[in-house]
């Protein structure tokens, strides 16, 4: 009995050491377990990232729509103070550069009326209602740098069918009273620019579609465009629907009058 007890006592430290070693080893992942964990993380990331990207894109689209809504309010308030005129895209006062409409409505939307806050690729402009976070202008003239504010939004332009891209009148163009035979709710004021094209000469205005280049209208928000309409509301429309127009007229949403007749007092 003594001999057996002594042997058990003698072996006890060794048994304890083996037990501790086993516990220590059991705290670590094996290579297979580590690979399984990595695989699970990769699968979860693959499932979640598209949803997160979609949520981010929707948030950008909502903010963009809010920007255009505020722009619309600025246009209408400006028109009330200027005998129903709305600002054009460029004037002699901006040396032909297309930010005159931004400059004109800036005081009505709480923005400083300086190019730095409206048009230039500056932090102040990128944090204003004149910049769309989803803008990704990557082609065209060098002055339109990637994500530049000047490539975010533009005034509607289809030659003599709409507001106008240039005016020598410092107050802008006659517009609201010129809408005849159609709804102001179907007449574009400002809108997203296309990330594929800005129209002839890369001018930052929202050109109407034509046969040669149907991509001149926006496409950045779920293959669609956010629009600011002449009645003051803002909405999204698919690129395909906007390109198709209405009543077999691809310029319907740009026209002041369905028959294409000239508007009064352009200058």
Q: Is residue 46 part of a domain?
A: no
| pLDDT tens digit sequence for 40-93 | 888 877 777 776 677 788 888 999 999 999 999 999 999 899 888 888 888 888
Q: Is residue 78 part of a domain?
A: yes
pTM, two decimal places = 0.75
The pLDDT score that the predictor gives to residue 267 is 42
The pLDDT score that the predictor gives to residue 6 is 47
The pLDDT score that the predictor gives to residue 137 is 66
The pLDDT score that the predictor gives to residue 112 is 93
Q: Is residue 48 part of a domain?
A: no
The pLDDT score that the predictor gives to residue 110 is 92
Nearest to 233 by CA among 185, 180, 178, 182: 185
Q: Which residues of the chain have pLDDT under 50?
A: 6-7, 20, 22, 139-141, 265-267
| pLDDT tens digit sequence for 196-217 | 766 666 778 888 877 667 677 8
| C-beta of residue 121 within 8 angstroms of C-beta of residue 149 | yes
Nearest to 120 by CA among 138, 139, 88, 94: 94
Q: Is residue 135 part of a domain?
A: yes
Q: How many other C-beta atoms lie within 10 A of the C-beta of residue 63?
A: 15
Range of the domain at 117: 62-244
> Using alpha carbons only, how large is the chain's radius of gyration in Å?
31
* Dist CA 263 CA 91 (whole Å): 19
Domain count, the chain: 1
Interstrand relation of 153-157 and 188-192 (parallel, antiparallel or unpaired)? antiparallel
Q: Is residue 35 part of a domain?
A: no
Q: Is residue 138 part of a domain?
A: yes
Q: Is residue 160 part of a domain?
A: yes
End-to-end Cα spacing for the chain: 120
Residues 6+ apart with CB under 8 A from 21: none
| C-beta of residue 118 within 8 angstroms of C-beta of residue 152 | no
Q: Is residue 189 part of a domain?
A: yes
| C-beta of residue 175 within 8 angstroms of C-beta of residue 126 | no
């Amino acid at each position: 009995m003594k001999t057996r007890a002594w042997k058990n006592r003698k072996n006890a430290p060794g048994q304890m050491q083996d037990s501790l070693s086993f516990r220590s080893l059991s705290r670590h992942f094996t290579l297979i377990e580590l690979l399984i964990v990595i695989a699970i993380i990769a699968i979860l990331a693959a499932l979640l990232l598209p949803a997160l990207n979609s949520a981010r894109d929707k948030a950008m689209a909502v903010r963009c729509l809010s920007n255009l809504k505020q722009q619309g309010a600025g246009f209408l308030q400006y028109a009330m103070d200027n005998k129903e005129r709305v600002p054009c895209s460029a004037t002699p006062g901006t040396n032909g550069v297309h930010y005159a409409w931004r400059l004109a409505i800036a005081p009505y939307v709480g923005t400083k009326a300086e190019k730095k806050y409206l048009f230039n690729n500056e932090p102040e402009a990128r944090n204003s209602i004149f910049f769309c976070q989803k803008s990704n202008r990557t082609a065209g003239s060098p002055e339109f740098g990637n994500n530049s504010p000047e490539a975010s939004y533009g005034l509607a332009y289809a030659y003599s069918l709409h507001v106008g891209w240039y005016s020598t009148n410092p107050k802008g163009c006659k517009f609201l009273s010129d809408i005849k035979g159609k709804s102001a709710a179907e007449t574009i004021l400002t809108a997203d620019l296309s990330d594929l094209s800005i129209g002839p000469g890369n001018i930052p205005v929202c050109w109407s579609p034509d046969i040669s280049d149907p991509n001149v209208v926006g496409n950045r928000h779920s293959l669609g465009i956010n629009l600011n309409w002449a009645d003051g509301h803002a909405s999204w429309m698919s690129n395909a629907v906007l390109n198709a127009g209405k009543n077999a007229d691809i310029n319907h949403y740009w026209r002041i009058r369905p028959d294409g007749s000239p508007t009064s007092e352009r200058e």
